[in-house]
Structure 1
Amino acid sequence: MCNLYSNTTAQEAMRQLFDGLNDKAGNLEPGRVYPDQMGAIIRHGSDGLELVKARWGMPSPPNVLKTERDPGVTNVRNLSSPHWRRWLDKGNRCLVPVTSFAEPLGKGKGNQWFASAEVGPMFFAGIEIRDWTSVRKVKDGETTDDLFAFLTCEPNAEVKAVHPKAMPVILTQRDEWEAWMDGTPAKDMQRPLPDGALRLEAEPI
């Protein structure tokens, strides 16, 4: 599953993509995003869509936790789970800007990076919650954070050759972004990109 991605999309470019986007993200550093780090998301705000930073990793199902520490879940696949169903409505939808994502090649072999074969922006289909209190790191104790993760699905041909189990749900067209944010059922959008839609890269872009 994808536990590393890169976003080098300029904030100004994101503002131009969405009319009236309220930029609350401060200074976004382009580059790699790892689990439990802060990443950019576009979510519903009180006055329309807003660009913010949130922590990558939604709350884990309680039954999988062995201690009070919850490292978070980065990828969501089982949409029938009651744990995830409560966060699949329109109010918890977000778009996660991404320019490339990685899948591991195997122990000691590094990562295979994937980027869009076409010129244009792409987003992960994300879900988010706000003001969630948990212990992410023992040394920090309880913290209250805005959190996000994104959906995964069956892989297309390019990803399947490296990781046969799953790939992120990626949205590349404006009508897909709008459908996701408008609350189209998640199961209807949980599908891979067409074969040939991704190109392989040695490094993130």
Structure 2
Amino acid sequence: MCNRYRLTAQQAEIAATFGVALPFMPDVTFPVGDIFPTGKKTPAYGLVIIEEDSVRRVEPMEWGVPTQVPGKRDPDVRLTKYVTNVRNLSSPFWHSMLTAPARRCLVPVTSFSEYGQEAGGNGRKPLHWFDVPSRPLFAFAGIWRPTERGNAYGFLTTEPNGVVAPIHPKAMPVILHDEDHDRWLSAPWDDLKALAAPYPSQLMRIE
């Protein structure tokens, strides 16, 4: 599960890579440093790119789509959980977002992280960062929806490739190829399911 990533690109680079019209709105604040999931008491935001009427724009959203789950102590009590990673693509919870092009988004990224499996000499699991050397700025396949306190997003995950698996054998984010950006924002869902696949390991690097 990826719960930490970075976006360090400048506005002009994001605009050129993803076809966003400049200038950006003055109230758009870019995240600085690492981006973390949102929480009930501490909202946290990332940037996504959405398309409306064939025009793309950058919008800050909370990272984590809220859903109600049974409480551990009392199953009759419903608790709010913020879901950051979308793995079960057949779940009814995600269906309305996956099947509606207007609810899909591009999540711009410069690198993402996973913790190692074994603790180091300091007793802590090491944090490893992954990027794509040939693409300093790339995108996760994202989805979003309105919530009671604003728009929120998550991104798809899939089986890990040969670079990520030794560190995190459960999953990795779905990284879109540049030529698939347009399709992700406009094509029917049935034509996009094959995109939920591991990114080629030979194109990635671990720090």
| Alignment TM-score > 0.5, same fold | yes
**Counterpart for residue 14 of structure 1:** 14
Give 1:150 deviation, angstroms: 0.0
**Counterpart for residue 115 of structure 1:** 131
Which one has more relative contact order, counting CA pairs under 8 Å at least 6 apart?
1
Q: Which moved more, 1:163-172 or 1:12-21?
A: 12-21
Give 1:110 deviation, angstroms: 2.7
Give 1:113 deviation, angstroms: 0.7
**Counterpart for residue 169 of structure 2:** 164
1:48 and 2:55 equivalent?
yes
1:188 and 2:204 equivalent?
no
**Counterpart for residue 102 of structure 2:** 91
Give 1:69 deviation, angstroms: 4.3
Task: Indicate how the Cα distance of structure 1 residues 184 and 157 shifts in structure 2: closer, same or farther if over 3 A, else same.
Answer: farther
Distance (Å, rounded) in 1 between the aligned partners of 2:62 and 2:193: 24
Give 1:59 deviation, angstroms: 2.2
* Contact 1:121–1:172 (Cα < 8 Å) also in 2: no
* Contact 2:160–2:172 (Cα < 8 Å) also in 1: yes
Give 1:145 deviation, angstroms: 1.5
Percent of counterpart pairs with the same letter? 35
Which of 51, 71, 86 is the equivalent residue of 1:76?
86
Distance (Å, rounded) in 1 between the aligned partners of 2:156 and 2:168: 16
* CA RMSD of superposed structures (Å): 1.9
For the residue of structure 1 that corresponds to 2:46, the secondary structure is strand
Give 1:47 deviation, angstroms: 6.2
Give 1:80 deviation, angstroms: 0.8
Unmatched runs of 5 consecutive residues or more in structure 2? 39-43, 72-76
Give 1:71 deviation, angstroms: 3.5
Give 1:31 deviation, angstroms: 1.4
Rg: which structure is higher?
2
Look up the equivalent residue of 2:143 and give its one-letter code.
I
Task: Indicate how the Cα distance of structure 1 residues 110 and 156 shifts in structure 2: closer, same or farther if over 3 A, else same.
Answer: same
1:27 and 2:29 equivalent?
yes
Q: Show structure 1 runs of 4+ deviating over 4 A.
A: none
Give 1:117 deviation, angstroms: 2.9
